[in-house]
Amino acid sequence: MKRTIAVAAMVAMGTMGAVTVAQAQATATPSAPATPAAVAPPAGPAQAQPQMQPQPQAAVQARAADVAGIDAIVAALYDVISGEAGKPRDWNRMRSLFAPDGRLMAVARRPDGEVVMRTMTVEDYIGRNAKAFATMGFFEREAARTTETFGQIAHVFSTYESRHAAGDAKPFQRGINSIQLAHDGKRWWIVNLVWRAEDKDLPLPERYLPKP
């Protein structure tokens, strides 16, 4: 969600700008995968995708169940960015998960070895992904997680798997969503989401893989 928030960025929490990881790494700033994996839409004419009426992020009311706990908000992040091609995403739901100044950041390595990062607002992420999701199936799920908490702050290191169809046997991409969270006494908020996709030079360590 993302994912989510997912990252995904983001979350996607990946389809920022509808580019592949290789394309993202070849530019001065990486294109962010939908929370978080970079994917390219299939060839063919774009289909119109109905969108919910956007609202200012601060005015969007979150579902109580989405923000009641760490498990809930991470699950919501992955869920909100996932769906079949042409399925409208509930972008107001995604807005509701992030703090008003929340950011999504995609980290990638260029072919020359330079590491670059693209920083986005939630609106940046939505704007770059809405058209791609009209023609491309994208499903992202959490495969493993490491969580650290202290009082009202939490850090979730979430291993993600991205697929073009929910039933695909293998993901086309994996990586890590680093999700920073805070609780304001009433609910949890996603403060920042940073993600990095796995590649041939940076495989996921065993400690971040699903336990047998």
7-64 pLDDT tens trace: 333 334 443 333 333 334 444 343 334 443 333 333 333 444 444 455 566 678 999 9
Strands (E), the chain: 98-109, 115-120, 139-150, 153-163, 173-183, 188-197
Is this structure's pTM higher than 0.85?
no
- The predicted-structure confidence for 183-210, as pLDDT tens digits, reads as follows 999 999 999 999 999 999 999 999 999 9
Tell whether omega for the bond before 11 is within 30 degrees of 0, i.e. cis: yes
CA distances to 21, 142, 159 from 102, rounded to whole Å, are 24, 21, 21
What pLDDT score does 162 carry? 97
**CA dihedral for 108, 16, 143, 182, sign (positive or negative):** positive
